[in-house]
Amino acid sequence: MPLKQKELALYMGPQELGAPDDLKKVIIDFIDKTEKRLDIAIQELDDIDIAKAIIRAKNRKWFTVSGKSRYLSVNLVLEGDYLQAIKPDPEPFEKGGSLRDNRTILNALFRSAINVKTDFNGKIFHQKFMIRDGKELLMGSTNFTKTGTSKNLNHIAVVSNKKVVSAYKKEFKEIMAGKFGKNSEVTPKPVPAISDSVRLKPLFAPNHNPEMEIMKQMAKAKEQIDFAVFTFAESSGIDDQMNLNARAGIKVSGLINGDQKNRKWSASKFLDDNIEVQFTQKGKKGLGKLHHKLMVIDKKVVIIGSFNYTKPANLFNDENVLIIGDIDETSEVGKKNQAKIAEYALKEIERINKEFTY
pLDDT band at 181 (very low <50, low <70, confident <90, very high): low
- Give the pTM: 0.94
CB atoms closer than 10 angstroms to residue 25: 15
Give the domain ranges of the chain: 3-356
Residue 4, helix vs strand vs coil: strand
Residue 192, helix vs strand vs coil: coil
**Is it the case that residue 111 has pLDDT exceeding 70?**
yes
What is the crossing angle of helices 48-59 and 100-111, to 10°?
10
Answer whether 146's CB lies under 8 Å from 46's CB: yes
**Is it the case that residue 197 has pLDDT exceeding 60?**
yes
Whole-number CA gyration radius for the chain: 20
CA-closest candidate to residue 351, choices 226, 245, 252, 233: 226
Top-confidence residue, 187 or 198: 198
CA-closest candidate to residue 305, choices 233, 207, 218, 201: 201
Give 265-299 pLDDT, tens digit per residue. 999 999 999 999 999 999 999 999 999 999 999 99
- Between 27-36, 86-95, 335-344, the lowest mean confidence (pLDDT) is in 86-95
Please, what's the b/e burial string for 209-229 (b: 16 or more CB within 10 A of its CB; e: otherwise)? bbbebbbebbeebeeebbbbb
CA-closest candidate to residue 139, choices 109, 116, 171, 115: 171
**Is it the case that residue 31 has pLDDT exceeding 80?**
yes
> Which one of 3.30.870.10, 3.40.50.150, 3.20.20.210, 3.90.1150.10 gives the CATH number of domain 3-356?
3.30.870.10
